[in-house]
């Protein structure tokens, strides 16, 4: 702990009152006065007093006050040695000098010890008095008087203790403290005060008030304002006030001042200074963090909303519209899964920079979540908003080259205009996000302007969802089966179960309309479960009739992700008695990309059951060769969109050949879907594709039509195990 500052040293709060020496003047007596006379004389004195015969240096008379103070019987004082009664060095020297005739008066504060051991703080006076004429005119006696100062001394000691406690308290606080008198003079301060202001301690110790105040004013960013406030405080002596001072060094101090009142009167002021610099910096950091995206440094959703709200308020006065663009990267998850999260983060930062570079300076860009960004475009009508969206789509689609891996990203965007599409930031964001999601469903890599219809669509989704639930309980769903044909010999080697729904009011509702709604609402889980058990039951029935027909069932991502999915498949197979190899699950690439490790475990569990698996709509996702190798998948289904252009479209032909090549390398089978023409079939056959399905052979048929269309036959149980194939035992249709 630091030393008490000198300002609180004893002298600082006022010097002790000066004493005036009291002089005892007694007229010399003609003869030696009698003891009773002397006693009577002394008895009349207010304090303790005794008279000493200078020749003997013995007490010849004393008063009762002396006996009380010295705690001795009066009788004992008579004849006592003068030096023994007051024995300080000063006293002893006086008595010595007196013996040699030097009797200058002595008046000082001293400490006496009584016979009972008490210490007495007294003011003691010794004066020579001429009570008896001496030939040399010298004094005959000395009068010793004592004034007890013990009470005063106690007060003094207590005061000093109080002062040092106060000083220790001042030093113990983390605040800088300054105490001034009503005229502004320094009365006390602590070390922290000098440190905070960078004040040289010497200046304070000297109590150079003018220099200290000038130093403080000089250190401030606004010295005039500071002086002004001081003047106000000077005039309001009882005012408690606080304010903030900014120093030229950048430090920010909080100053609190309260009046120092004693006996109801202002005695000055106490000023305390607290260094807020770090706290303010921390607050600023928190503030920045709370509205910034830590990774990209862009605004976050909160900050964006504030900016959109502000722009909406402005648009009310200046009538200028604004646009909000929400952009989501397409299949970004796959980048994370295949290249790692660290690379994924770098890609996101790269994308953020690209987008930012193509915006105007006052546009606000934010990162809403993982791979979702938003841009607030000020002063933008529909055309300007669409132009901005196209620019963003374009820069995102520029090829990326990271760590010598080359790839191309696309993104989907949704745009909402303010205030026409929404009067709050929340509303605009919702509309822009919904428009973006609609783009995703429609095949991604595009943008879309919010349309009032979107809301109608949402309402119709709810109606459709309700109708689907009714349809399931009322048994209005049916399954149709589309034959899968082997290209080599034209034989039917499988059937894909496809869901059909005829609603009493809406008529036939195609899966492309209701499956996405069911996927969004989660109702796909019970529907998918119904399809699975229905399809497996049908396959078991056919098998019982002598038609061993492998059945392919579509499985949605959400259904696959259910914790009990594998158990459910096993249970359905067990109940029906269908050999697992006759069931094929058609999975989408999303399933593999989403939580790849979890998916891998589940796929292995299904493979252990003996179930076969294929990837539906292959080519529309991000699956790469390296990626597929990890999974126990036996078959790829080339998406219809690549088949439709065959054989004329070079790009489709190239993609189909590449898929076939890749599948050969992975030892996988390939089926092409949506084959409608003989030319397509021929191309696929020549290119080495294994199977096809499509209207060329047959659309999806009800179970009875399927049986009629497919000649009786099937796969004998023994043959299933005998023909090994990739990802599980192969199946060969053997006619009876
Ligand atoms: P998908 O699994 O790719 O099914 C193939 C779709 O192509 C079927 O449409 C089928 O009728 C149609 N198709 C077959 N041959 C041809 C052709 O030659 N030309 C054309 N243009 N189309 C052909 P559908 O039945 O409308 O099903 C559409 C999608 O709905 C399916 O695509 C599948 O993703 C989904 N879906 C159908 N049933 C189910 C189901 O039970 N569960 C799940 N999760 N999804 C299903
Ligand atoms: Mg399918
Ligand atoms: Mg498909």
Lowest average pLDDT, out of 25-29, 49-53, 616-620, 683-687, goes to 25-29
Our answer on whether the CB atom of 636 is closer than 6 Å to any ligand 1 atom is no
Q: To test the ligand 1 pocket, which listed residue (522, 554, 556) has its Cβ within 8 A of the most ligand atoms?
A: 554
CA distance 610 to 579: 8
Our answer on whether the CB atom of 344 is closer than 6 Å to any ligand 1 atom is no
CA of 693 to the centre of ligand 3 (A): 10
Our answer on whether the CB atom of 330 is closer than 6 Å to any ligand 1 atom is no
Evaluate whether 35-154 and 173-279 have a shared fold: yes
Q: To test the ligand 1 pocket, which listed residue (441, 498, 520, 533) has its Cβ within 8 A of the most ligand atoms?
A: 498
CA of 570 to the centre of ligand 1 (A): 25
CA distance 647 to 510: 28
Q: Which ligand is nearest to the CA of 483?
A: 1
The pTM of this model reads 0.48
**What pLDDT was estimated at residue 624?**
58
Residue 16 has pLDDT above 50, yes or no: no
Residue 735 has pLDDT above 70, yes or no: no
* CATH number of the 35-154 domain: 3.30.450.20
pLDDT-derived band at 138, boundaries 50, 70, 90: confident
Atom nearest to 524 CA in ligand 1 = 44
**What pLDDT was estimated at residue 606?**
96
CA distance 480 to 497: 6
CA of 535 to the centre of ligand 1 (A): 15
CA of 641 to the centre of ligand 3 (A): 9
Number of alpha carbons in the 13 Å side-chain half-sphere of residue 515: 15
Residue 729 has pLDDT above 90, yes or no: no
Residue 27 has pLDDT above 60, yes or no: no
Beta-carbon neighbours within 5 Å of ion ligand 2: 554, 586, 616
C-beta of residue 634 within 8 angstroms of C-beta of residue 611? no
Q: Residues 312-336: what's their mean pLDDT?
A: 91
CA of 48 to the centre of ligand 1 (A): 124
Our answer on whether the CB atom of 530 is closer than 6 Å to any ligand 1 atom is no
Residue 692 has φ and ψ, to the nearest 5°, of: -150, 160
Beta-carbon neighbours within 5 Å of ion ligand 3: 616-617
CA of 567 to the centre of ligand 1 (A): 26
Residue 710 has pLDDT above 90, yes or no: no
CA of 617 to the centre of ligand 3 (A): 4
Instruction: Tell me the per-residue pLDDT of 659-708, one tens digit each, with 9 for 90 and over.
Output: 899 899 889 999 999 999 999 999 999 999 999 999 999 999 999 999 99
Tell me which H or E stretch contains 418: strand 411-418
Instruction: Tell me the per-residue pLDDT of 89-104, one tens digit each, with 9 for 90 and over.
Output: 889 999 999 988 888 9
**What pLDDT was estimated at residue 29?**
52
Our answer on whether the CB atom of 482 is closer than 6 Å to any ligand 1 atom is yes
Mean pLDDT (the chain) is 85
CA angle 184, 230, 185 (to 5 degrees): 5
Please report, to the nearest 10 degrees, the dihedral formed by the alpha carbons of residues 64, 68, 73, 74 taken in order. Answer: -20
Our answer on whether the CB atom of 508 is closer than 6 Å to any ligand 1 atom is no
Q: Residues 339-360: what's their mean pLDDT?
A: 92
Our answer on whether the CB atom of 484 is closer than 6 Å to any ligand 1 atom is no
C-beta of residue 366 within 8 angstroms of C-beta of residue 299? yes
- 734 or 541: which leads in pLDDT: 541
In sequence order, which residues have a C-beta less than 8 Å from that of residue 375 and are 6 or more positions away? Answer: 324, 325, 327, 355, 359, 363, 364, 365, 366, 388, 392
**What pLDDT was estimated at residue 625?**
57
CA of 621 to the centre of ligand 3 (A): 12
Q: Which ligand is nearest to the CA of 638?
A: 3
Distance of CA 695 to the CA centre of its chain: 58
Our answer on whether the CB atom of 483 is closer than 6 Å to any ligand 1 atom is no
* CATH architecture for segment(s) 293-452: 2-Layer Sandwich (3.30)
- 724 or 615: which leads in pLDDT: 615
Residue 716 has pLDDT above 90, yes or no: no
CA distance 196 to 251: 9
CA of 618 to the centre of ligand 3 (A): 8
CA distance 131 to 26: 7
| CATH 3.30.450.20 assigned to 173-279 | yes
Our answer on whether the CB atom of 617 is closer than 6 Å to any ligand 1 atom is yes
Atom nearest to 482 CA in ligand 1 = 14
Instruction: Tell me the per-residue pLDDT of 471-523, one tens digit each, with 9 for 90 and over.
Output: 999 999 999 999 999 999 999 999 999 999 999 888 999 998 899 889 878 89
In sequence order, which residues have a C-beta less than 8 Å from that of residue 625 and are 6 or more positions away? Answer: 662, 665, 666
**What pLDDT was estimated at residue 118?**
83
Q: To test the ligand 1 pocket, which listed residue (513, 565, 616, 673) has its Cβ within 8 A of the most ligand atoms?
A: 673
C-beta of residue 168 within 8 angstroms of C-beta of residue 4? yes
Long-range Cβ pairs for the range 279-286 (8 Å, 24+)? 280/252
Residue 12 has pLDDT above 50, yes or no: no
CA of 451 to the centre of ligand 2 (A): 31
Q: Residues 407-428: what's their mean pLDDT?
A: 91
Ranges of each domain in the chain: 35-154, 173-279, 293-452, 478-733
Distance of CA 554 to the CA centre of its chain: 44
CA of 172 to the centre of ligand 1 (A): 80
- 90 or 17: which leads in pLDDT: 90
**What pLDDT was estimated at residue 4?**
37
pLDDT-derived band at 120, boundaries 50, 70, 90: confident
CA distance 92 to 98: 10
Our answer on whether the CB atom of 515 is closer than 6 Å to any ligand 1 atom is yes
Q: Which CATH superfamily is domain 478-733 in?
A: EAL domain (3.20.20.450)
Our answer on whether the CB atom of 616 is closer than 6 Å to any ligand 1 atom is yes
Q: What pairing do the DSSP bridges indicate for beta strands 612-618 and 635-638?
A: parallel
Number of alpha carbons in the 13 Å side-chain half-sphere of residue 572: 25
CA of 673 to the centre of ligand 3 (A): 7
CA of 586 to the centre of ligand 2 (A): 6
Tell me which H or E stretch contains 252: strand 252-262
Residue 726 has pLDDT above 70, yes or no: no
Number of alpha carbons in the 13 Å side-chain half-sphere of residue 381: 2
Tokens of 252: 């920010």
Our answer on whether the CB atom of 528 is closer than 6 Å to any ligand 1 atom is yes
- pLDDT over 90 percentage in the chain: 47
**What pLDDT was estimated at residue 627?**
67
Our answer on whether the CB atom of 695 is closer than 6 Å to any ligand 1 atom is yes
Residue 5 has pLDDT above 50, yes or no: no
Our answer on whether the CB atom of 145 is closer than 6 Å to any ligand 1 atom is no
Our answer on whether the CB atom of 63 is closer than 6 Å to any ligand 1 atom is no
C-beta of residue 212 within 8 angstroms of C-beta of residue 199? yes
Q: To test the ligand 1 pocket, which listed residue (481, 510, 511, 674) has its Cβ within 8 A of the most ligand atoms?
A: 511
pLDDT-derived band at 44, boundaries 50, 70, 90: confident
Residue 727 has φ and ψ, to the nearest 5°, of: 70, 15
Instruction: Tell me the per-residue pLDDT of 370-406, one tens digit each, with 9 for 90 and over.
Output: 999 999 999 888 888 999 999 999 999 888 888 887 8
pLDDT-derived band at 48, boundaries 50, 70, 90: very high
**What pLDDT was estimated at residue 350?**
94
Our answer on whether the CB atom of 531 is closer than 6 Å to any ligand 1 atom is yes
Residue 724 has pLDDT above 60, yes or no: no
- As a residue count, the chain comes to 736
- 112 or 252: which leads in pLDDT: 252
CA of 588 to the centre of ligand 3 (A): 9
């Amino acid at each position: 702990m630091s030393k008490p500052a000198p300002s609180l040293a004893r002298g600082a709060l006022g010097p002790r009152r000066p004493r005036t020496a009291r002089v005892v003047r007694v007229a010399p007596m003609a003869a030696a006065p009698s003891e009773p006379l002397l006693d009577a004389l002394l008895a009349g004195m207010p304090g303790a007093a005794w008279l000493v015969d200078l020749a003997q240096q013995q007490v010849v008379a004393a008063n009762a006050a002396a006996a009380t103070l010295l705690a001795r019987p009066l009788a004992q004082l008579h004849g006592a040695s003068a030096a023994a009664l007051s024995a300080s060095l000063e006293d002893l020297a006086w008595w010595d000098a007196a013996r040699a005739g030097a009797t200058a008066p002595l008046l000082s504060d001293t400490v006496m010890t009584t016979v009972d051991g008490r210490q007495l703080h007294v003011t003691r006076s010794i004066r020579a008095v001429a009570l008896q004429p001496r030939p040399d005119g010298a004094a005959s006696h000395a009068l010793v008087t004592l004034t007890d100062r013990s009470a005063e001394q106690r007060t003094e000691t207590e005061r000093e203790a109080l002062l040092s406690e106060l000083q220790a308290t001042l030093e113990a606080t983390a605040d800088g403290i300054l105490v001034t008198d009503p005229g502004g003079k320094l009365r006390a301060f602590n070390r922290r005060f000098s440190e905070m202001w960078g004040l040289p301690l010497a200046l304070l110790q000297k109590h150079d008030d003018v220099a200290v105040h000038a130093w403080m004013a000089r250190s401030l960013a606004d010295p005039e304002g500071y002086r002004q406030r001081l003047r106000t405080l000077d005039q309001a002596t009882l005012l408690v006030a606080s304010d903030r001072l900014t120093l030229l060094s950048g430090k920010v101090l909080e100053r609190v001042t309260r009046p120092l009142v004693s006996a109801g009167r202002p005695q000055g002021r106490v000023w305390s200074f607290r260094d807020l610099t770090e706290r303010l910096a921390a607050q600023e950091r928190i503030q920045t963090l709370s509205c910034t995206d830590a990774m990209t440094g862009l605004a976050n959703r909160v900050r964006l909303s504030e900016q959109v709200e502000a722009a909406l308020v402005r648009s009310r006065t200046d009538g200028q519209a604004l646009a909000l663009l929400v952009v989501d990267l397409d299949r970004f998850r796959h980048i994370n899964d295949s290249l790692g999260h660290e690379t994924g983060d770098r890609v996101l930062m790269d994308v953020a920079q690209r987008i930012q570079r193509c915006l105007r300076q006052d546009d606000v860009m934010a990162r809403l979540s993982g791979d979702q960004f938003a841009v607030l475009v000020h002063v933008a009508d529909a055309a300007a908003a669409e132009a901005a969206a196209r620019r963003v789509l374009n820069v995102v689609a520029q090829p990326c080259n990271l760590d010598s891996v080359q790839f191309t990203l696309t993104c989907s965007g949704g745009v909402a205009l303010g205030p026409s599409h929404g009067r709050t930031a929340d509303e605009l964001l919702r509309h822009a996000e919904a428009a973006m999601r609609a783009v995703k469903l429609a095949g991604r890599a595009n943008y879309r302007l919010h349309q009032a219809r979107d809301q109608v669509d949402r309402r119709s989704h709810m109606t459709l969802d309700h109708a689907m639930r009714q349809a399931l309980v009322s048994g209005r769903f049916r399954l149709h089966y589309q034959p899968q044909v082997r290209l080599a010999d034209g034989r039917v080697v499988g059937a894909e179960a496809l869901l059909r729904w005829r609603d009493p009011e809406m008529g036939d509702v195609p899966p492309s309309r209701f499956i996405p709604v069911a996927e969004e609402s989660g109702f796909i889980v019970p529907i998918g479960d119904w399809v699975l058990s229905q399809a497996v039951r049908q396959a078991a029935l056919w098998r019982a009739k002598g038609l061993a027909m492998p059945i392919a069932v579509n499985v949605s991502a959400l259904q696959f992700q259910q914790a009990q999915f594998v158990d459910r498949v096993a249970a359905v197979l067990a109940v029906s008695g269908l050999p697992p190899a006759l069931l094929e699950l058609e999975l989408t690439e999303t399933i593999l990309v989403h939580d790849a490790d979890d998916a891998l475990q589940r796929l292995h569990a299904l493979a252990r059951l003996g179930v076969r698996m294929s990837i539906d709509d292959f080519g529309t996702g991000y699956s790469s060769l390296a990626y597929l190798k990890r999974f126990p998948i036996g078959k790829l289904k080339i998406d219809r969109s690549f088949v439709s252009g065959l054989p004329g479209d070079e790009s489709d032909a190239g993609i189909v050949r590449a898929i076939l090549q890749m599948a050969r390398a992975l030892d996988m089978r390939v089926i092409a879907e949506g084959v409608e023409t003989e030319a397509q079939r021929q191309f696929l056959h020549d290119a080495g594709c294994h199977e096809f399905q499509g209207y060329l052979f047959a659309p999806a048929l009800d179970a009875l039509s399927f049986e009629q269309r497919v000649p009786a036959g099937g796969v004998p149980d023994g043959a299933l195990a005998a023909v090994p194939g990739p990802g599980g035992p192969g199946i060969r249709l053997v006619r009876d």
